[in-house]
């Protein structure tokens, strides 16, 4: 559950506000419940009420007045399960002007949309696309993404830590981008499919690593260039 009531009667988020990046209290401005008809319900061990009850809530941050939307599956043990949250917390704004490459930003945005829609697989594949577009734009050479990332490091375009981050995003994306990751038996039945085991937490980690890579590759290098230019001005 993304929010809880404190002993003082305040609603507090367990995560920072994605709009202002502050740990703040919230006001719930609207909520309503919806129900899933029993005929369409798959019974499991989640302990949900029947018919399945889903609560949609809108919260307003008391610091910046922006809204967050939460959908929760209500469970009989009162430990509700968050099934949808928008916008997602923990994703800092990226300096889009410094990146300034539509191919990168379009894949990044599509990945975030997939993440907000609880589509882990779609998110991870788009994050990998954004990564590969970035590597190629930066001048990485090689027969595959792994070689292209290492080539950027050899050219000192990216640092060792940045290279390692890129390889982590690549590893997540490879689980869905290449068919050889799926194994089948002699009858053609899938016996191993790592891509189907990817979770929203995996996709969120891939997103955070991709944002770190973009920050280091574009924003940090741009700031360094500005500092070098200023130092040159002071010397003259």
| pLDDT tens figures, 122-170 | 888 899 899 999 999 999 999 998 999 999 999 988 888 888 988 988 8
CATH class of the domain at 96-235: mainly alpha
78-120 residue pLDDT tens: 667 777 777 776 666 677 788 888 889 899 888 888 887 778 8
Backbone conformation region of residue 118, classed left if phi is above 0, alpha if psi is from -120 to 50, else beta: left
pTM for the structure as a whole: 0.61
For residue 175, the tally of other CB atoms under 10 A from its CB is: 20
- The residues, ordered by sequence, that sit 6+ positions from 170 with a Cβ below 8 Å of its Cβ are 128, 131, 145, 146, 149
Question: Rounded to an integer, what is the distance from CA 164 to the centroid of its chain?
Answer: 18
Positions of CATH 1.20.120.330 in the chain: 96-235
d(CA 156, CA 6): 50
């Amino acid at each position: 559950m993304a929010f809880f009531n404190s002993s003082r009667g305040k609603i507090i988020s367990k995560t920072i506000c994605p709009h202002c990046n502050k740990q703040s209290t919230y006001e719930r401005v609207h909520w309503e419940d919806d129900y899933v008809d029993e005929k369409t319900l798959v019974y499991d061990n989640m302990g949900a009420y029947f018919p399945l009850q889903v609560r949609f809530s809108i919260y307003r941050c008391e610091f910046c007045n922006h809204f967050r939307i939460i959908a929760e599956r209500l469970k009989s043990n009162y430990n509700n399960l968050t099934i949808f949250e928008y916008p997602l917390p923990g994703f800092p704004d990226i300096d889009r002007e410094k990146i300034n490459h539509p191919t990168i930003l379009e894949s990044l945005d599509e990945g975030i949309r997939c993440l907000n829609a609880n589509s882990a697989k779609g998110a991870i594949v788009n994050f990998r696309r954004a990564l590969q577009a970035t590597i190629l734009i930066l001048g990485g050479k090689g027969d595959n993404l792994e070689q292209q990332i290492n080539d950027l490091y050899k050219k000192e375009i990216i640092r060792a830590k940045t290279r390692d981050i890129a390889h982590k995003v690549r590893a997540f994306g490879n689980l869905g981008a290449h068919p050889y990751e799926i194994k089948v038996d002699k009858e053609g039945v899938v016996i191993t499919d790592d891509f189907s085991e990817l979770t929203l937490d995996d996709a969120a980690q891939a997103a955070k690593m991709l944002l770190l890579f973009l920050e280091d590759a574009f924003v940090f290098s741009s700031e360094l260039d500005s500092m070098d230019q200023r130092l040159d001005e002071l010397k003259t």
